[in-house]
Amino acid sequence: MDKKNHDGMSAFVPGTSIGIRHISSAQLESLGVDEVAFIKPMMTENGEAYAIHAADGSPMAIASNVPLAIAAIIQNEMLPKLVH
């Protein structure tokens, strides 16, 4: 069930589902995209590192270890989540 908000965008209606591949930036923002950051292990030319991404997948930073990544996220008033 889609209802339109004042901007003409489909608004989330509790008790319904959203096709995650078809979610708009405005809908992501309403779900807290600016409040959550993900930590994902990665390999660099210098060895293992940890990428920090916004909930929408945008790269934000790279940290040398998980505690540093968590600290950076918390310092920016976001919630850290690990991705394996």
The reported pLDDT for the residue numbered 2 is: 46
Q: Is the pLDDT of residue 9 over 60?
A: no
Query: Could you give the count of Cα atoms lying within 13 Å of 3 in the half-sphere of its Cβ?
Result: 8
Judge if pTM exceeds 0.85.
Answer: no
Contacts of 44 (CB under 8 A, 6+ apart): 62
Could you tell me how far CA 25 lies from the centroid of its own chain?
11
Question: What does the radius of gyration of the chain's CA atoms come to, in whole angstroms?
Answer: 16
Name residue, tokens 């945008």: 58
Read off the pLDDT of residues 46-81 as tens digits, 9 standing for 90 and up. 999 999 998 878 899 999 999 999 999 999 999 898
Domain ranges of the chain: 1-31, 34-84
